[in-house]
Structure 1
C-alpha cells in the first residue's frame, strides 16, 4: 500500500535530532528520504552512546529509520555536484546548518529555487536567521535561556531540564507541519517556498498557558514541582506506599474524588467548592487529601478512583508506559528487520496506514546506487 507522501523525494541535509526526526516522520508517511552524511563520520548521533546497536547507536536509530544514506563531502567538487543534483530533483530539502553555510556552497534556497521552483526548503536553526544566527542551537541551552527550566523542578530546587530533548522534538513537529503545509499550498500554486523554524520560537509557542500567563500579568511563572498553576488537585499525592497522579479538571471530578476518599464534606467546603477556591487553598486541600490517601496503597486508590471516573494513575517508568499502551491495544512498538524494535508512528490513518518501517541505514549504505542515479538522467527510485 502506498503511503500518503509516496512519490515525494526529500533531501535530508540535517543531523542530530530536530531535522532527522522531521524527515523520519516524512519517511514514515511514504516519502523517499535521502540522508546526506559526512564520509567516515556521518551524523554526530551515530557516536552518541551507550546504548549501542549492532551497527550504530540507539540514539541515531531512534530518528533515522526508513531512509537511504549517501556519504558526500561537500568540500569536494564531485560530491558537491552530486548533492546539488539531489537538491535540484528534490520536492523537499531539510537542513540545520549554520545560517548561510549551505548558501556558500550554492545550496541555499534562492540558488535552488531557480532550477527547482517547486522545492520546499526547510531551515532549522537555534535562534533564527537574524540576530541569533551565530548562536549555537543546542536543546539544553534553549531549555535554559527559553524559560522551560525555570518552570520545571521543585520550587526549592534547581531549575531542571526535561528528561528528553523536548525542544528539539517540538521543533521537529513544527518543521513537519510547515513542510506539509507548504506541500499542500504547492498543489495550488505550483511553487515551493522557504520554511523556517527555530528552537526558541518553538519552545515559546509550546509554553502555551505559561507563556500567556506572563503576557497577561507581566510576571514570569515559577517552578511548582508536579503541581499545576491553575488547577487543583492536579498533581502527585502521597498514599500509604508511594504517590499517585490525580488530575481533577472540573468540580464534578473533584466531588467524585471526595466521595471515594470518604470525605463527603470536602466538596461542599467553601475553600474547595470550585477550582479557583481549591487553587487558592491548595496547601489545606493537599493535607486533607493525603491524610485520607495514607490509609491504603497507591494501587488500591488508582483502581477505586479510576472506577469512579476520577483521572488517576500510578507514576510509572518508560517500560510500564509501553506495557500500558500494549494493554490498551495501541501497539506502541513495531518490528524492524535487522534492528531493535522501533516506536510506532503515533498517527493512525483509516485508509493509508503507516506500514513501511525499514531499518536505519548504515553510513553511506546507498552511496553507490544513488551516485549512479544522480550522475545520470534516471529518476531516483522512490521507496515506500
Structure 2
C-alpha cells in the first residue's frame, strides 16, 4: 500500500469493525474508528434499528415531508454501513458469526452474558477468529457485585460522583446536584474504548492474538473525576459543588460585564498579575493575600467581589479585547449556535455536511477533532439509512 493509498482512505484502511452496539458509548467508539478509515458494519434490529433512530424530536425528514431518523442517531453513526439482522434467530446469529469470521473488531454493549445464548460472546467468536479484538461495553464491567446491572449515563454520573461536584453550592439559589448537559460518561467511555481497541489491534497485528476488552461506564466515570478524586486522596476532604468556581484555581470562573458575562481563566500567578494590570489595579496582583494561587484560593471570598467590581464597568467585547492584549485567557459563554458562528470554528471546518438520498436536506454533524498530517480523517459516508447495506449479506450465503 502506498502513502497516497493510506492518505485517501485513512490510517485504519483495511480494518473491519462489526458494530453490535447501540445508543451512544459503543457507536461513539465505532464512529471514531470509521472517521479514521475503518469499515464499520452496524448490525441493527430489522424494521426498528438502533434505539436512537427514534430518540426525538427533532427528526430529519424525507423529501415528501415524512419523519425520518432522529438527530440523535446522526451524531454518532457517521461513516458506517447498516445491515438488518435478528440475532435472536438462528439465521441472524449465524450471519453475524460469518461477519465476525472476517472482522478485526467486534464492539457490543449488551448486558454481561447477554450474547452467550446466541453464540456471539467473546469465547464463541474468538474460537472461529483467534485474531479478533472483542470490546464489551457495560455499565459496571464483566465482574463484581454490580456486573449484572444495566448502566445508563445519567445514573452513572450520579453514582460515580460527577453530580456531587456539579451545580450550585448548598445554600445558593437552585442548589442541587446537577448532571452535565451532554452524556459525558458515554462519550468518555467511547473514547476510552476506541483507544483500547487500537492498542489491542496493535497487539493482534504483532502477535496474531486477539483479546477481550472490558470497558465499564462506572470505571470510566471514576477515572475522569481526575483532580477532584486526587484532591480527596491527598486532603481527605470530600469535594463539593462550587458552581462555576474551580477547586484548585482562582480566579477561574465567570465575571460580570455591563452586557453579560465572560469567563476569565487564570492559570498561574503571572497571568493574575497581567489581569490586575489590565483592570488598572496592578498593586492587587502583588497583595500578600492574592500574589500566590494558593492564597487566592484561600481568600477567594474576598478576591472575587473585588474583581466583579472591576469587570462590570466594561462591555464583554471591551473586556475580552483588553484581556487578550495582556495575555489573559478569556472567552464568551456561547450558545450552541454561536459556537459554530465563531471565526475559529469556521476556519477549522467544524461542521460536516453529507447528503443522504432519502432525506430532504444534508445531514450536519460535528467534525472529528482528530487532525492527522499524513492520514487525515475523511467523511465518505453519511449516517446510514436502516438496512442501507443489506446487500452485504448476500455474500454470506455462499
TM-score by length of 2: 0.92
Number of aligned residue pairs: 375
1:341 is the counterpart of 2:364: yes
Of residues 284, 293, 309 in structure 2, which corresponds to 1:275?
293
**1:132-281 aligned within 5 A:** 132-156=146-170, 157-281=175-299
Structure 2 Cα separation of the partners of residues 234 and 109 of structure 1: 47
Cα deviation for residue 267 of structure 1 reads: 0.9
1:35 is the counterpart of 2:42: yes
Structure 1 Cα separation of the partners of residues 343 and 267 of structure 2: 23
Structure 1 segments of 4+ aligned residues over 6 angstroms from their partners: none
Cα deviation for residue 168 of structure 1 reads: 0.1
Structure 1 Cα separation of the partners of residues 220 and 212 of structure 2: 17
Which secondary structure state, in structure 1, belongs to the residue aligned with residue 9 of structure 2? coil
Structure 1 Cα separation of the partners of residues 102 and 342 of structure 2: 44
TM-score by length of 1: 0.95
Alignment RMSD: 1.2
Structure 2 Cα separation of the partners of residues 17 and 82 of structure 1: 24
Which secondary structure state, in structure 2, belongs to the residue aligned with residue 310 of structure 1? coil
Cα deviation for residue 40 of structure 1 reads: 1.5
1:95 is the counterpart of 2:113: no
Structure 2 unaligned spans of 5+: 1-7, 62-67, 357-361
Change (3 A) 1:36 1:209: same
* Aligned residues of 1:325 and 1:331 also touching (Cα < 8 A): no
1:28-60 C-alpha deviation (Å, 9 max, x unpaired): 111111111111211100000011112301100
1:309-342 C-alpha deviation (Å, 9 max, x unpaired): 0001111112211222645621101221223222
1:4-32 C-alpha deviation (Å, 9 max, x unpaired): 11111111000000000111111111111
Cα deviation for residue 177 of structure 1 reads: 0.3
Structure 2 Cα separation of the partners of residues 188 and 67 of structure 1: 27
* Aligned residues of 2:251 and 2:266 also touching (Cα < 8 A): yes
Which secondary structure state, in structure 2, belongs to the residue aligned with residue 150 of structure 1? helix
1:370 is the counterpart of 2:381: no
Structure 1 unaligned spans of 5+: 377-384
1:134-161 C-alpha deviation (Å, 9 max, x unpaired): 2121000000111000000110301000
Structure 2 Cα separation of the partners of residues 87 and 61 of structure 1: 25
Structure-2 residue corresponding to 1:293: 311
Between 276-285 and 124-133, the greater mean CA deviation after superposition: 124-133
Cα deviation for residue 294 of structure 1 reads: 1.9
Structure 2 Cα separation of the partners of residues 265 and 331 of structure 1: 43
